[in-house]
Copies of this chain bind each other. A is one copy, B any other.
């Protein structure tokens, strides 16, 4: 049951059917009525696969994102998706399950399926992937991340400054032994680490590398980090977790180990997801403008999809959101 059958039954050409379907050209009311009637009666469902082939446009954008810090990424996704859907695009989401999983296969998948554009929320340094990304002719925007060597427009915060401000916030609450948990070896994490170090140095404090703990941005990972600190008898009076999810795990483990929050240990998160307002104690955090990031990333992509010049990056403001987990 295609356009051809509809055409025959309505006694018109396929061109006419196509035209009433798409409203591309004026069609006399009579033919329009006839065609619409047949379509309705036959329960015709347009075939967008065929349509995409001739149009060379799929109205699909690909989104590659990590599954860690899910609540944060989901929210960005939700806001971006909303804008994209409004504009008639659908989103093919590729969720990179863990750090070991390669982005390669997802990138191939998106390219083979001819997505019109891409939003990349997952850092990668795989040279082959980088090469493919550069060569691809479709618009791409990096969201929440920065990939050195890739000149696509970015929509994100200033991670260095955000971590700097977060650290200062803890310092201003009298903390001196601040553990930092995050993913090192990635641009975002490393920049935040720099901000942390600078803030400590400026406060005249030495950087103790035993306080810099690797984490995977999951709740479990937060718990493990605290467990490690305590097991190794490393003294600390604050934890700065570089995702709210890790912070939740951190608080859980601290309470379990009999620590008081924040009197014994203050906890500061990162991201500003809704969950932080529902924990006990509530979570102080470095808040990203999640809604804005998602929406602006989508809007930038749409602009490029509409042929506008690839725009510059957008660095959005962060803020500190207080909570009872810090003094």
Contacts and interface: CB of A to CB of B under 8 A. Distances in A.
A5 interface: no
Contact of A279 (B43, B109, B114, B280): B280
Given A53-B53, A67-B78, A95-B78, A114 B278 contact: no
Contact of A112 (B46, B74, B275): B46
A50 interface: yes
Interface string A228-265: 00000000000000000000110110010000000000
B90 A90 contact: no
Interface in A2-43: 43
Interface string A267-278: 000000011011
Contact of A219 (B91, B97, B278): B278
A114 B2 CA distance: 13
- What range describes how many residues of A lie at the interface? 35 or more
Given A47-B112, A81-B95, A93-B93, A251 B280 contact: yes
A154 interface: no
Looking at A48, A49, A52, A112, which has the most chain B CB atoms within 10 Å of its CB?
A49
Contact of A53 (B46, B49, B93): B49
A111 B45 contact: yes
Contacts of A50: 53
A118 to B, nearest CB: 14
A135 B95 CA distance: 32
